Chains A and B, each alone.
Chain A
Amino acid sequence: MRRPGGEPRVEVAAEAPWVRRLAILLAVLVLGLLLLLPLLAVATEALRRGWTPVVAAITDPDALAAIRLTLLIAAISVPVNTLGGLAAAWCIAKFDFPGRALLLALIELPFSVSPVISGLVWVLLFGAQGWLGPWLQERDIQIVFALPGLVLATIFVTFPFVARTLVPLMQEQGRSAEEAAATLGASGWQTFRRVTLPDIRWALLSGVLLCNARAMGEFGAVSVVSGHIRGETNTMPLHIEILYNEYQFVGAFAVAGLLALLALVTLAAKALLERSGDLARLRRPPA
């Protein structure tokens, strides 16, 4: 996701002003209708009775436990997928080997797997009726219906984000810079840190942030492995479902609003980073 900055040049090949205005209007209208309106609906429902019940819903001990759990899960899954994504992007983009396309396809696979399945596979594997279930039970190790299961399901769902953002960019950048550095005697780690990382850091961050946003918001997969114990294995999205099912609509939409807010902060951070990325690129002398 490279973003050359600067103002667009004045073009011979440009649309008539009315086409331009119409296109902008249409885009704003359609995106607003499709994307912004649901968010507005959440906010309206949450604030239906003012701020007091919103604050009460968010500071409820069970809600706080859900917030903590969600943040913890994201704090574990995002680094794992960042590390894996970096490794995958490095070997796919910088080396030729047979099966590269297959590897990339397999990395993208979790995108097309239904969230229900993403949760189910862990139950099939670690559940009491699953392959490793009896072995785990003998040792009193709980994976599904506890934190590890939630983390594994989240990692599965957010698996491709970092790799997917990095691979096309690193492929496009080629490997000549790294090869030059390596020929000059830089170690692998040095090459990576001094040559590769500066070029990919904005894409990396944007991938990480998307991964994080999705990790916090995942519902289907964690719902299968959670066990739904109040204050213990309920993440924020699950807590929202519980509140909703208890007819506490204001509370449900309040926590939903908070979660959406966390996601929006993430997205804003991404936009800001990309902007400073543009500036940094402008300051750098052209290669």
Chain B
Amino acid sequence: MRGGGASGLRRRVLPGFGLSLGLTLAWLSTIVLIPLLALVLRPLELGPAGIWASLAEPRVWAALRLSFLAALAAAALNLPIGLLAAWVLVRYRFPGRRLLDGMVDLPFALPTAVAGLALTALYAPNGWLGAPLAALGVKVAYTPLGVMLAMAFVGLPFVVRTVEPVLRDLPREAEEAAATLGAGRGQTFRRVILPALAPALLAGFTMAAARAIGEYGSVIFIAGNMPMVSEIAPLLIVVRLEQFDYAGAAAVGLAMLFLSFLLLLVLNLASRFWRPA
């Protein structure tokens, strides 16, 4: 690796390319690539027709659809909330700001199962929030809405933490110029600030969605797990494992991986077009 790299890129002054790339590749292949290869190759023993048959069931489609739609909806819900939180944290000084700042990382840190249990306890029809909502006729726990809520919980920090640094580095001059030119604050926000934040928002959206699609621990308790209605794709993997159907489980896993990668690709391409000149 080192020899090839050095001859190809002669102008490099800094040392350590070979070492760091070697380390990275070793780390990446042992932990991520080889295991994922096992996942990719396992369904192949079914043959292409077998993989298709194992995936072309309405129940699989329904689960994949729920996982992806709920994840996208959760990420979309996280956009305004995340933007608001990032804005308040960066632009304003108020008592308890540091506390609020620390709270944002809570979903990263709280064990997913605990989050799931806590959310279910809160939003069940006899919970603190579930009871008043039930009185209004809104059912959260054991419905797709609950799935989305749990996903929003795990994804929120991604949006806040990607928007925050960009917002902090945003040059104030443009805003000031807009204000001097007579733009109202709302106008400035829409025309100047929002476009500048768009790539970061999109990146945060992408990561929140990606994380939510695969989420299991915090969703499983609140989902209700009804086939065709509130059954998420990771649960389907577990269901197939219970039937000792390794290849079928890996097939669903592979489909999820493929679809997430596709989603990431589309969103990354979108962000490239979006980038302001």
Chain A residues close to B by CB (< 8 Å): 1-4, 7-9, 11-16, 19-20, 23-24, 26-28, 30-39, 41-42, 45, 80, 83-84, 87-88, 90-92, 94-97, 103, 105-117, 120-122, 124-125, 129-131, 152, 155-156, 159, 168, 175, 178-179, 182-183, 187-188, 191-192, 210, 213-214, 216-220, 223, 236-237, 240-241, 244, 252-253, 256, 259-260, 263-264, 266-268, 270-271, 275
Contacts and interface: CB of A to CB of B under 8 A. Distances in A.
Contacts of A35: 103-104, 106-107, 153, 156
Interface string B67-90: 000000000000001001101110
B122 A41 contact: yes
Given A41-B118, A156-B31, A130 B38 contact: yes
Interface in B98-122: 98, 100-115, 117-119, 121-122
A263 B152 CA distance: 20
A197 to B, nearest CB: 13
A5 to B, nearest CB: 11
Given A13-B172, A36-B103, A271-B101, A20 B92 contact: yes
Interface residues of B, number: 98
16 contacts: A1-B164, A2-B165, A7-B93, A31-B81, A83-B23, A88-B28, A114-B237, A116-B234, A117-B253, A120-B249, A124-B42, A155-B31, A156-B31, A159-B31, A213-B108, A259-B114
Interface string B169-199: 1001001101110000100100000000000
Contact of B260 (A28, A96, A112, A259): A112
Label chain A's interface by main secondary structure. Answer: helix
A156 B246 CA distance: 20
Contacts of B121: 41, 45
B15 A187 contact: yes
Contact of A241 (B32, B85, B113): B113
A107 B103 CA distance: 26
Given A95-B17, A156-B31, A13 B178 contact: yes
A239 to B, nearest CB: 10
Q: Which 3 A-B pairs have the closest CB atoms?
A: A114-B214, A263-B109, A84-B27
Nearest to A127: B246
A31 B168 contact: no
Interface string B2-39: 00010001001111110111011001100111111011
Nearest to B77: A34
B24 A125 contact: no
Nearest to A19: B185
B38 A267 contact: no
A266 B241 CA distance: 35
B138 interface: no
Interface stretch (B48-56, B205-213, B223-231): B205-213
